[in-house]
Amino acid sequence: MNIHQVIVVGAGPVGLLCALDLARQGVQVCVLELEPSTTLDLRAGTFHPPTLEMLAPLGVTDAMMAIGMKVPVWQSRDLQEGLIAEWDMSILRDDTPFPFRLHLEQHRLTPILLEKLSAYPNAQVLFSHEFVSLTQTPDRVSVRVMHKDQEMDLLAHWVVGADGGKSAVRKSAGIDFDGYTWPERYSVVSTTHDFSHLGYADNAYVSDPEQWVAFFRMPDKGPPGLWRMTIPVGQAYTDEEILDPKYANSVFQRVLGTSSDVFYPIVHQSVYRVHQRVANQFRRERVLLAGDSAHVNNPLGGFGLNSGIHDAMNLSDKLARVIVKGESLDLLNLYERQRKTVNMEYVQEISIKNKHHLEEADPKIRQERFAQLRKINANDSSRREYLMVSSMINSIKKANSIS
C-alpha cells in the first residue's frame, strides 16, 4: 500500500497552508476534508503583520491584499465615553513591512490557498473524506477514513491534525484539551449600514459592562464592504432569539444611540460558543496538532486564526527539514515548545485580559484603564510597545527565542 509522507486532516486555513508550505518544500502531502468543499461560514477576518510577513513568500499575501482591506488605524472605545484611544500602526513601519491589519473574510483565504496548492503535483486534497480514527506504530500512522459511507485505511509517516476545535485527530491520539468554555455565546452580525460617518475606524472595540461590541469593516465583494459586529449574549436568550434580526437591530440601536424605527439591513448572522483551551501536547509521536485543534480562544484581539497560521508555518518548516533533509526529530518537540508556550503565555492570557477589560463593571477600574490607554497612546515609545504586543510581533519574537 502507498504510504503518504504526510496526511493533513482538515482543509481549513491552517491545514491548507501547512500542506501548501510542505508541498513547496518537496514533501508529498494528502489533505483530507470531510466537507465537499472549503467552508463558507462567518469566522475570523483580521490578519496581523507577522502573518502577512509569513505568507508573503508563498504569494498568498499579495493575493489577499488584492481583495482585502488595509486597516492602519484601530480604536479602543467605550459606549459611554466614546473614543478612548486611536491606535495608529504606522509607528511599526521599522518593525514590519506590513504596519497595518488586513481585513479579509476567512472563507476568502481558503480558496486562495487551495488554488496555490493545486499547482503542486505532490499534493492532493480529498474532499468528502472524513477522518475517523488513527493508530500508530514507530514508523507510520494508519488512518481510518470514511468516504461515501465506505471506510478505508490510508497510511502516512506523519499526520497533522488541523481539523478544528472538535478535532477527531486530537481525540484519537488521546491528547487532552484542557481549559474551559465561557457561559455566554458570541453572535456575529453583518450589515450594509456604514458606521464610518459616526467616527468609527474600520476596527473598533467598544467596552460596556452590559454588552461590549467589536466592530470590523469587512471587504465583502468590494467597497463599501460590510460592517460586522461581534457581541456576547447571555444565557437568557435562545439561539433562535439571538438569530432574529430584531435582536441584532436592538443592539445596533442601543450602541449607536438610534431610535427603534432605524432599521439596519442584516446580511449574515451566526452564533457560536467560545472556549479557552490548549492541548496538553502538540505532538504525540507521529501525530502533530496545529491551529484550532491545538488551541482555541475568544476572538478579542484576533489571535485565533493568526496563531494557527503561525503554527502551520513553524510546523511545515520543521517537518520538511525532518522529511527532506533527515534532520533530528527533536525539531518537532521544538515546534511544541515554541508554539504551545506562546499560546499559553500570549494568546490565552491576552485574549482573556482583553475580554475582561471590555466587560469591566467597576467604574473606578474602568476609568483607570481608560487613563492608562490614553497615557500609553500619548507616548511614541509606549504606543509602539503596546502595538508590538497587540499585533503579535512580540509573540513571534518570543517563540523564536525558545530553543
Ligand X SMILES: Cc1cc2nc3c(=O)[nH]c(=O)nc-3n(C[C@H](O)[C@H](O)[C@H](O)COP(=O)(O)OP(=O)(O)OC[C@H]3O[C@@H](n4cnc5c(N)ncnc54)[C@H](O)[C@@H]3O)c2cc1C
Q: Please identify the residue of the shown chain whose CB is closest to the bound ligand X.
A: 12
Interaction of residue 6 with ligand X, rule CB under 6 A: no
| Residue of the chain from 305, 323, 350, 393 that contacts ligand X (CB under 6 A) | 305
Window of 31-39, 111-119, 173-181, 246-254 that interacts with ligand X by CB under 6 A: 31-39
Nearest approach in angstroms of CB 76 to ligand X is: 17
C-alpha closest to that of 175 among 307, 51, 8, 293: 293
| Residue of the chain from 33, 202, 220, 360 that contacts ligand X (CB under 6 A) | 33
Go through the chain and tell me how many residues it has: 403
Residues 168-187 that bind ligand X (CB under 6 A): 168
Interaction of residue 19 with ligand X, rule CB under 6 A: no
Residues 78-117 that bind ligand X (CB under 6 A): 106
| Residue of the chain from 49, 68, 232, 302 that contacts ligand X (CB under 6 A) | 302
95/163 with CB nearer ligand X: 163
End-to-end Cα, the chain, rounded Å: 38
Cα gap 145→8, rounded to integer Å: 12
Ramachandran angles phi, psi of 137, nearest 5°: -120, 175
Cα gap 335→249, rounded to integer Å: 45
Residues that contact ligand X, how many (by CB under 6 A): 33
33/202 with CB nearer ligand X: 33
Interaction of residue 162 with ligand X, rule CB under 6 A: yes
Interaction of residue 130 with ligand X, rule CB under 6 A: yes
Cα gap 168→157, rounded to integer Å: 18
Question: Residue 42: helix, strand or coil by DSSP?
Answer: coil
276-to-147, 210, 233, 306 alpha-carbon distances in Å: 32, 22, 17, 16
18/63 with CB nearer ligand X: 18
Task: Identify residue 213 by its one-letter amino acid code.
Answer: V
Interaction of residue 233 with ligand X, rule CB under 6 A: no
| Residue of the chain from 6, 7, 8, 14 that contacts ligand X (CB under 6 A) | 14
C-alpha closest to that of 90 among 77, 103, 71, 66: 71
128 alpha carbon, distance to own chain's centre = 24
User: Residue 301: beta bridge partners?
Assistant: none
* List of residues contacting ligand X (CB under 6 A): 9-15, 32-35, 39, 41, 43-44, 106, 130-131, 162-164, 168, 188, 230, 270, 272, 291-292, 299, 302, 304-305, 308
